[in-house]
Structure 1
Amino acid sequence: MRYRTFRIRPIKPVATDCPMPDIDLLSRHFLGFYFLLIALYYASTSVGLWRRTGVSHIQYGPRGSATWWHRHIFNAFRAVILVVCLTRMVWPELDTWLGIIAPLYQPPVLIAGIVALLTSYSIMSYVHAYMHQDWRSGIDPDKRQTLLTQGPFARSRNPLFLGIMLGQLGLFLALPSIFTLICFVAGVFVIVRQALREEKALETLFGSEYLNYQKEVPRWW
């Protein structure tokens, strides 16, 4: 008499905990959406203010001047950063061309970069809201604006630039690479030079009022 034997397969336990998120994937998509949001934010803000006031709030200065070059260099880097971050979302192999700094490409560093970028966005949004229609990008010598000395301007003469530089640092930390290091160094260099140019223009516009303000409030913090 023959007997059939049956092999009992052990039942695999059902996982109850959700897997930890892939920090690399999170950072990759965060950067793409973040810089797309920044581009849309500045474009819509500029158009909205122009429609309301009839005045362009983006000033390049005379063609070929230092401020004209600063603005164009900054715009070029911003455009390249946006294209790179969006491309990385669908083509991760791009990282091999960016010069990734492996020792820094670790979850704690990437998370620190994300936090820095979010903090930067919060600072820029707050300063823009505080300035409202007095916001200008660049030097506007044709219209005398109110000298802002309260709120964020009571702690820093350039709170908006401070937020932008924090964002440049955040980009480097969220994507540690030769590419973002160049963007960070070039961005800070251009912003510092632009801040010095704008201070000279404000001295001309406001005279002793701005000189007294300089003595009371530091350039950065």
Structure 2
Amino acid sequence: MLPPPLLFVAAAATMLALPGVPLWPLWPPSASQLLAAVPAGLGLLLAVSAVLALRQAQTQIDPRHPERSRVLVTHGIYRLSRNPMYLSLLLTLLALSIWRQSPSTLLPLLAFVLAIRVQIRREEQALARLFGIHFTRYCQRTRRWI
């Protein structure tokens, strides 16, 4: 499995390489830029909030090794989402898709979601083994979103 940041870069590069076929030819480019700023800003806010929560808990951030987690982080943004970092990457790709105004950019976005869902399942299995009932309860009260 490729690391999630690499999956993100691959999806973004593919989106930029695809030919732009505007979905709304009469929609001015400035409108798509303004509309794209919403998910991009939300994605940035989620990413920063997630990193700060993990650092505050003094646990690792590397998603390739969930078994190295020392603490189950359930505060901050993790009270609202079990996967805010992945959600932030998805929102950033959505912003790029909106900015490009091309339906073809939805294909790499979908591929990213499918690949990340595999990563999330793998991580959650490792966290369930590591934190047991605490993780199960966390999953019962907190949504995954992806």
TM-score bucket (shorter structure): 0.7 to 0.9
Measure the CA separation in 1 of the matches of 2:140 and 2:8.
33
3-state DSSP class of the match of 2:24? helix
In the alignment, is residue 152 of structure 1 matched against residue 73 of structure 2?
Answer: no
Equivalent positions of 1:62-141 (< 5 A) are 68=1, 70-71=2-3, 75=6, 78-79=9-10, 81-82=12-13, 98-103=19-24, 106=28, 107-132=30-55, 133-134=58-59, 135-141=61-67
Checking the alignment, whether the CA contact within 8 Å between 1:112 and 1:173 is kept in structure 2 is yes
| Cα gap change, 1:128 to 1:207, in 2 (>3 Å) | same
Measure the CA separation in 2 of the matches of 1:139 and 1:179.
33
Checking the alignment, whether the CA contact within 8 Å between 2:82 and 2:144 is kept in structure 1 is yes
Where do 5+ consecutive residues of structure 1 fail to align?
A: 1-67, 86-93
Checking the alignment, whether the CA contact within 8 Å between 2:15 and 2:108 is kept in structure 1 is no
Measure the CA separation in 1 of the matches of 2:76 and 2:136.
19
Percent identity of paired positions between Structure 1 and Structure 2? 24
Letter in 2 for 1:137: P
Offset at 1:79? 4.6
Look at both structures and tell me which one has the larger radius of gyration over its CA atoms.
1
**Greater RCO (CA < 8 Å, at least 6 residues apart):** 2
TM-score (norm 1): 0.55
Measure the CA separation in 2 of the matches of 1:212 and 1:76.
30
Checking the alignment, whether the CA contact within 8 Å between 2:36 and 2:95 is kept in structure 1 is yes
